[in-house]
Amino acid sequence: MTKKVPGRKTSKKKRKKRIRRIKRIALIVLLVLVLLLIILGIVFFFLQRAGKDALLYRDGEVEVTAPELENMQIELEDDGETVVYEGRTYRYNRNLSSILLMGVDREEMNDGNDRIGESGQADCILLAVWDMQSGQITLLSISRDAMVDVNIYDTNGDPYGIENQQICLAYAYGDGKEGSCENVVRSVSRLLYGMPVQSYAAINLSAIDELNDAIGGVEVTVPEDLALNSDVFRAGERILLKGSQAEAFVRSRDTSKVDSNMARMSRQKQYMFAYIQKALQQTKEDVTVPLSLYQVASKNDNMITNISLSKVTYMATQLLKVNFSEENMKSVPGEVTMGEKYAEFHVDDKELYEMILDIFYIPQE
């Protein structure tokens, strides 16, 4: 006969209760985790949706126009949604998002309280036009000397009028922060006959070297004999830009020459192409690269941007399908002349408008 051990039943009951309690706690934790994942998924969905809407939004602040070309007829319909050019119909591509990139010629950004004219100038102006459906990115380089209507403000920041000036000055007629960026956006849109610019990012000089080194430097071919700080390189040399060499490569120019900015723009285009290609390749290997670069650019208030969290969220989901080649590097066409005091870049209206139709519109059968 089996001998009963006192308290054994009680111990088994306690263990069973403890196991049931642990299971209940585990189930609650699991349900909470599932709920958190669902909430995060919902937040991500709405951020992505809001980001897409913001990136593609066309506010129509600048009226869509067209150049007056001799012996050529251009018709605009539906506020520029449809264009009839030389008998062919074009429809605006609603999948496009334009991001204006500006390099500002000052060592550091300010608190937004600069006096008008003290905010620096937009030395480098690039417009990235991103087709969110196909993934194709077109990078359009705009001369800092391009003549365009610029909103002018007095020293108190009150509207003073509109004058035809170099587009780089649009940044100076602002607060050195969002106001300056928005003024450049407005002038870029005017230059492009009302094409929308949904986002912008302006960085100061001190951020260039850090962004360059954040991807391990950028390899370029020296287009002409060039002094980069204390180093002199010969035309045709292939070099890896490191540290302060990057800023010197994209910024230096011989101001004694009227067209000195054109040579600099050529270097800027080469640099940006190489930079984007390398950054995209690294992103395919590590999806956190864009976030790291964003943090580098934002450090010490080196960057001013309206690219919100929702925009970043949607852009991040589209990065891996980006299509960007050397064919997608373009420049606003025109010629440089000497103005009363400074160089002036006057666009070729016909060539520019045909370029706009090619980038922003889809030809209809």
Residue-wise pLDDT tens digits, 41-87 = 555 454 556 657 777 777 777 899 999 888 888 999 998 999 999 99
For 79-136, write each residue's pLDDT tens digit.
Answer: 899 999 999 999 999 999 999 999 987 655 555 555 555 668 888 999 999 998 899 9
Q: Kindly tell me the burial class for residue 25, based on how many C-beta atoms sit within 10 Å of its own C-beta (0-12, 13-18, 19 or more).
A: exposed
Please give the mean pLDDT across all residues of the chain: 84
Please check the confidence at residue 230 and state whether its pLDDT lies above 90: no
The residue type of 360 is F
- d(C-alpha 94, C-alpha 25), whole Å: 51
- Work out the average pLDDT over 157-185: 89
What's the pLDDT score for residue 113?
A: 54
Find out whether 361 and 90 touch, Cβ atoms under 8 Å.
yes
- Work out the average pLDDT over 320-336: 89
For 241-273, write each residue's pLDDT tens digit.
Answer: 998 889 888 888 877 778 778 888 888 889 999
- d(C-alpha 256, C-alpha 143), whole Å: 17
Please check the confidence at residue 186 and state whether its pLDDT lies above 80: yes
Maximum C-alpha span of the chain: 119
Helix 289-298 / helix 260-285 crossing angle, nearest 10 deg: 130
Binned at pLDDT 50, 70 and 90, residue 362 comes out as very high
What region does 317 belong to: left with phi over 0, alpha with psi -120 to 50, or beta? alpha
